[in-house]
Amino acid sequence: MSDDAVKIPPAVSGVGGWLDDRFHGAGGVRVLMRKVFPDHWSFMLGEIALWSFVILLLTGTYLALFFEPSAAPVVYHGSYTKLDGLSMSQAYQSTLNISFDIRGGLLMRQIHHWAALMFMIAIFAHMTRVFFTGAYRKPREINWLIGIGLLTLGMLEGLFGYSLPDDQLSGAGLRILFGVFEGIPIVGTYLMFFLFGGQFPGTAIIPRMYILHVFLIPGLILALVTAHLFIMFHQKHTQMPAKGNTEKNVVGQPFFPYFLLKGQAWFFCIFAALVALATFAQINPVWLYGPYTPLAISSASQPDFYMGILEGALRMMPAWEINFLGHTLSLSVLIPGLLIIGLFFTAAALWPFFEQWATGDKSFHNINDRPRNAPVRTGVGVGVICWYLILLLEGANDVIADRFDVPLYTVTWISRVAFFVVPVGAYFVTKRICLALQRKDANMLTHGVEIGIIRQLPNGEFIEEERPVTEEERAVLESKHVPAALPAPLETDANGVPAPAARGPLGRARAIANRCRSPPLSRVPFSPILVLYPSGILRMKSCASAIRAASSTMLSGTSGCPYAILFRTVSLNSTVSCVTLPISFRSESIVTSRRSCPSIRIRPSFTSKNRGIKFTREDFPAPLGPTNAITSPGCTVKLMPCSTCFVSPSLS
């Protein structure tokens, strides 16, 4: 963008000049104004979280002016006459006063609560997008860890926030928190007394939660959000696969005026949506629950959705206590309350480093993956989402049992079985769907895009006409990045020595993880081009843009049955950015035809040297034209259709 591309108003220019004369910041501001950001709808999820947090700070400041963080008992004589004369804490009384006596207080309370839910929903959605597109890969692992920290702090902030009013529902949540702390071996009692100041419920918990909710945790969230934005600004934003997008550029719009105005408009849209929700959708009517008393409990008591997994895990776990070295361990609280949640956050934090270790991929990634191009990662993500939903639904097992007239323990047992079965099934189903979508992409590159026109050939056959993919479509379809495969667990060199990276238990585990992330090539069909060079060395050109016809290839033979290469003639003059891959071949018998001459698939594997299989010219028949079979001494070989033929390493 040129210097005169955007006309700066004289008033702004004058103020900017005055500030620059004193602080010399014009250079940095100019860089910020010209910073280019990619434009994609999914990137707005992070902005929703950012602006929701800003609204939380604004409304929270207003509410803090009138809230009394005290558990001291008082007798209520306020506007809500149904609770008149009832003993309650000052915290609950001030909440009722905010709702009924402070001008705009109830609206602010509801905006604040809806903004908290919007903040957590946006963080979940944003991190899900980052996970499925692989945007956490090098060099953005630190920002991924910051996101995990923001998610954890957001859950704690929400827990303390809706516990402050000291109503019956929030008190039940605090009682569960107290029990989880008590279930921690050795240090649990000390943590419980440190937070609650004594036995439950005590009088110290509300002012301590107030300090955490209003000062400490918002400060930490603000610091992490600032660090996240600065790191993103320094490392540049990732971008989606598209024509012209590379690992070394950023295609988008400048910060000023495009994203500055867009961000302001997006803030007001989010604020308007939250105001509309607060106006027409009631949430957390604490006056209906009454003040908290330890002797009372109500059915249908569920926390907000982000804490629902803890509630569901506690309800799902059967009663289990053991005595260990004279200490009682309440595993029915310890496992669901800390172990499951701890494993979830630990696995999420370590996933980028595990993926880098499993793939050996240490390159920089500024182009996001399409979820279909990472079937294992996508399958794991869908499995975790199913696992989360099962726990969330189990947290409302009493409501489900009541509404559907099903015994409560039947719902619990269904959730226990589903906890282990559904995520595994979702993983495999999602993985197969991703591989099927890869096959669809390969077919589009090979044959083009169906346009919906059916044409009848002179011989009576009906075919659907297709058009070639556009350059924009081709850029997306060919966007997958595949790192070189690691040595197989039992793979050896010419001297029978295993590769150093595959030795030992850790090396074998890494090789197995690498194979799990990259499915065997023979499972993903594709139509490569096999070219016989004059030297007789067979190499593969795996470039979909070179395929302009239905090119299928087959290599068959056994001892006593000469190798024969079958292919249709394809013009290589139209090849665009083709790469000759160094490959070696391993044969795998898959179909036995007559006279025991099996058809075998070619399974390319990356090697360190540019190797191939040498043949003499007599070993190969003439290239096939419209025919689809050739007879060799001892066997008959048929030209296989694309859907059952070779695969491209770029799709593995």
Distance CA 363, CA 139 (A): 9
Distance CA 540, CA 585 (A): 11
- How does DSSP classify residue 337? I
Distance CA 118, CA 56 (A): 10
Residue with the two structure tokens 């803030």: 267
User: Which two tokens mark 48?
Assistant: 């929703």
List the one residue out of 232, 7, 24, 250 whose CA is nearest residue 140. 232
Residue with the two structure tokens 């005026």: 257
Gyration radius of the chain over CA positions? 32
Q: Which residues pair with 398 in a beta bridge?
A: none
Question: What local confidence, expressed as pLDDT, does residue 182 receive?
Answer: 84
433's enclosing H/E stretch is: helix 408-447
User: Which two tokens mark 422?
Assistant: 């559904």
Residues 6+ apart with CB under 8 A from 528: 540, 541, 542, 551, 553, 646, 647, 648
Task: Compute the residue count for the chain.
Answer: 652
One-letter amino acid at 250 equals V
Query: Is the Cα dihedral 402, 408, 411, 412 positive or negative?
Result: positive
Task: Output the CA–CA distances (angstroms, integers) from residue 530 to 120, 525, 535, 552, 642, in the order listed.
Answer: 52, 15, 14, 9, 14
Q: What is the pLDDT of residues 253-280, one digit of tens each?
A: 888 888 889 999 999 999 999 999 999 9
Distance CA 338, CA 434 (A): 33
Task: Output the CA–CA distances (angstroms, integers) from residue 340 to 29, 76, 312, in the order listed.
Answer: 46, 42, 11
Question: What local confidence, expressed as pLDDT, does residue 633 receive?
Answer: 36
Q: Do residues 522 and 588 touch, judged by C-beta distance below 8 A?
A: yes
Q: What is the pLDDT of residues 492-503, one digit of tens each?
A: 666 767 767 667
Q: Do residues 292 and 163 touch, judged by C-beta distance below 8 A?
A: no
pLDDT averaged over 10-residue windows placed end to end, the chain, 652 residues = 57 76 80 86 93 96 95 92 93 96 95 97 96 94 96 94 92 87 84 85 89 95 96 92 90 87 94 96 93 82 88 91 83 88 93 90 91 93 96 92 93 95 96 92 86 88 88 89 67 68 74 64 34 30 29 30 29 27 28 28 31 32 35 33 30 28
Name the maximum alpha-carbon separation found in the chain: 105
Distance CA 17, CA 13 (A): 6
Question: What local confidence, expressed as pLDDT, does residue 484 receive?
Answer: 67
Question: What local confidence, expressed as pLDDT, does residue 1 receive?
Answer: 45
Cis peptide before 139 (omega within 30 of 0): yes
Q: Where in the chain is the domain with CATH 1.20.810.10?
A: 35-309
Q: How many CB atoms lie within 10 A of CB 531?
A: 17
List the one residue out of 364, 603, 377, 608 whose CA is nearest residue 486. 608
Q: Do residues 296 and 168 touch, judged by C-beta distance below 8 A?
A: yes
SS3 570: coil
Secondary structure of 376-395 as H, E, C letters: HHHHHHHHHHHHHHHHHHHC
Phi, psi (deg, nearest 5) at residue 539: -130, 165
Question: What local confidence, expressed as pLDDT, does residue 125 receive?
Answer: 96
Residue with the two structure tokens 């589903």: 418
Dihedral angle computed from the Cα positions of residues 498, 503, 509 and 512, in that order, rounded to the nearest 10 degrees: -10
Secondary structure of 497-565 as H, E, C letters: CECHHHCHHHHHHHHHHHHHHCCCHHHCCCCCEEEECCCCEEEEECCHHHCCCCCCCEEEEECCEEEEE
- How does DSSP classify residue 413? H
SS3 591: strand
SS3 33: helix
Q: Do residues 109 and 99 touch, judged by C-beta distance below 8 A?
A: yes
SS3 253: strand
Q: Do residues 437 and 429 touch, judged by C-beta distance below 8 A?
A: no
Query: 1.20.810.10, 1.10.10.10, 3.40.50.720, 3.40.50.10480: which CATH number matches 35-309?
Result: 1.20.810.10
Q: What's the pTM value of the predicted model, to 2 decimals? A: 0.78
Q: What is the pLDDT of residues 329-350, one digit of tens each?
A: 888 888 998 888 899 999 999 9
Distance CA 500, CA 57 (A): 55
Estimate to the nearest angstrom the gap between the alpha carbon of 358 and the chain centroid: 18
Task: Output the CA–CA distances (angstroms, integers) from residue 624 to 34, 163, 413, 570, in the order listed.
Answer: 57, 76, 62, 11
Question: What local confidence, expressed as pLDDT, does residue 450 receive?
Answer: 86
Q: Do residues 256 and 57 touch, judged by C-beta distance below 8 A?
A: no
Q: Do residues 578 and 602 touch, judged by C-beta distance below 8 A?
A: no
User: Which two tokens mark 167?
Assistant: 């109503």
Residue with the two structure tokens 């993919």: 469
Question: What local confidence, expressed as pLDDT, does residue 501 receive?
Answer: 66
- How does DSSP classify residue 645? S
Phi, psi (deg, nearest 5) at residue 20: -65, -35
